[in-house]
Amino acid sequence: MYDVPKEYRAAIRSPTRNDRMAGKLTLTDGSTIELTDSAVISGSVSVDNQCVSGQELAFGSVYMGQASLQLRTALSSAAFYDAALQIDYEIQLADGSWYTLPVGRYTVAEAERSAAVVSLTGYDNMLKLERKFSGSVILGDAYTMLTQIADTCGVELAQTEAEIKALSPNAEVLRQLDGTYNVSTWRDCAGAIAQFLAGFATIDRLGKLRISQFGETACVSLAESARTVAKISDFSCHYAALVIETDSETFTSDIEGESGLEMTISDMPLAESGTTEVRQGICDAVFDKLKMLDYTPATVTMPGDPALELGDRVALPTKDTTPETLATHLVWKFRGEMTLKGVGKNPYLAGAATHTDAQLRSLQKQAGANKIIYYSFTNGSDIKVKDNGKETNAVNLTFVTTQDTSAMFLAQVLLTAEPDVEVVKLPVTGDTASDFEGAATPEQDAALTLTVRYYLDNVLIDSFTPAQRLVRGAHALALFYPFPDLEGAASHRWSVRLLCAGGGVKIAKGQIRATITGQGMAVGDAWDGTLELEELIGRPTRTPVARKVLAIQDVILAGTQKPIGDAAAEIITRLLRKAPARNIL
């Protein structure tokens, strides 16, 4: 429930109330129209929203709020498209003052004229998230991913990092979302994160993106005198188990020895990757919220109270008991009746699984086993391969197989070849010294050979080492290697290293596009914070007078830190270096 003063609560529950319409329409040309009782057709203002799709409780829903009204105006309907609609509600308190309650912020998407009236329909800022999510990757903890969604779609995030972390332990688990996770729009991404946090995504009254959860304690009590009609179910919903079905495994959390409803989640993108322990922890965290949501389904019609919000727990006292319901659907009408609905599954029918359900689950498992997985790589910095007899790392990929399978490696490398220059001596004939003066010594490019070496699990595949002769200039190098027999339930590391002879090769940032693809493989995890460092130290030399070998001492600190998803850019100019002083013993 929106945070309102006690004076508002008293006024809204009073048998009589004095209220009025407020807000405004801001057209695309900058002009505004005040929404007053005289400008708006009586009984036409309506706001509708919901946070579940079916007839039972669910996590991860992400609906667009809708507002509609009829306006007296001489303007054409075309003038209202893409207008900013601000709806506020004002009520007079007992002391005579007026309290203004924000109801919602919308964008007009439909306008239709009839006689002297224009009918408008607007949608909240969830409309901005209805953008195609392709070729993009978001990763990090829940707050970091939500920030990326908000920044990309041009909306403001309503919660701070601390508020997001307070929702669920899952908020601190590093995750990744891309096109392979069954998300097609940015709105789907917001829903996946909300599901991960045991809540739902919505746009609040001020137009900000918010992750909300269902209430565990009642925020308001609606006595029989405060409601017009109440249809309260004779059963209550108590969840005793949660089942999360992924492509590879099924995870279950339950209350041992207790009967109740079972929630099954068959599509949870953020639980598709990670170790078994991590994914079981995700399931446990979601169930910790679910098991606290005992409620009774109900449908209530009452005088309008725009302070109520989706997810609110509402007490409905009767003569015998006080059941509580959860607001999953809300329809508010200005100076009209308000409908509050809480859906729920009848526990007596919960165990009735149909033959169609069984077939769908079987097909889902088959599709998961046959799903083609891609592990991709792009070089994040420039690469220089020199003629020094040393290998240079170009591609590093780690992939996981869930069963015995086969796969293939494909790569396209755009490079620039820079052969060494060598002098060619042409034979000159003659009898005297003057004949040899000015003899031509032209230069030409040396023969540049680029050798590719493949390593699987740090073991060189010496039976297949492609080599390419290169002339000076730009080249496109295509690489391919098949993996006919890969052991299942294992993690493999694949690396490609380059070696030059007769010159060097330059590869610019982002000019290596590589992938390993196949079936029977696990979806790639987000970066887990592992860093691999390599340093080559040359052989130290000692002067003849250095007779004593000194011990080399240093301090090494080892620990684990949580990686933070952030981007930074810094330019460091060349620094003057002073030669260190040497002490000779």
pTM over 0.75? The answer is no
- Give the relative orientation of helices 142-153 and 186-196 as an angle to the nearest 10 degrees: 160
SS3 582: coil
Taking a C-beta distance cutoff of 8 angstroms, is the pair 134, 181 a contact? no
Q: How many CB atoms lie within 10 A of CB 102?
A: 17
d(CA 45, CA 442) in angstroms, rounded, equals 88
3-state helix, strand, coil in the chain (%, to 5): 15, 35, 45
Q: How far is CA 305 from CA 57, 121, 308, 333, in A?
A: 23, 21, 6, 9
Residue 221: strand pairing partners: 315
The pLDDT of residue 171: 93
- If we measure between CA atoms, which residue out of 258, 264, 261 comes closest to residue 243? 264
pLDDT of residue 542: 62
Half-sphere exposure of 139 (CA within 13 A, CB side): 18
| The two structure tokens encoding residue 290 | 């679910």
Q: Three-state DSSP class for 12? A: helix
What digits encode the pLDDT tens for the residues 151-167?
A: 999 999 999 999 999 99
Closest CA to 106 of 59, 61, 68: 68
Instruction: Profile the chain (585 residues) by mean pLDDT over runs of 10 residues.
Output: 91 91 91 90 91 89 93 88 93 93 93 89 93 81 92 92 94 84 88 94 93 93 89 90 87 87 89 86 93 92 92 91 93 92 80 54 58 82 90 89 86 94 70 57 83 93 93 94 85 91 92 88 55 64 57 67 52 51 46
Question: Please, what are the domains in the chain?
Answer: 220-349 (no CATH), 372-423+441-519 (2.60.120.40)
Q: What kind and span of H or E run contains 449?
A: strand 448-456
Residue pointed to by tokens 């105006």: 73
Q: Which helix (H) or strand (E) holds 355?
A: helix 355-369
Mean pLDDT across the chain, nearest whole number? 84
| In the block, residue with structure tokens 């077939």 | 359
pLDDT tens per residue across span 307-365 = 999 999 999 998 889 999 999 999 999 988 999 999 988 877 665 554 555 555 555 55
Q: Which amino acid, 143?
A: Y
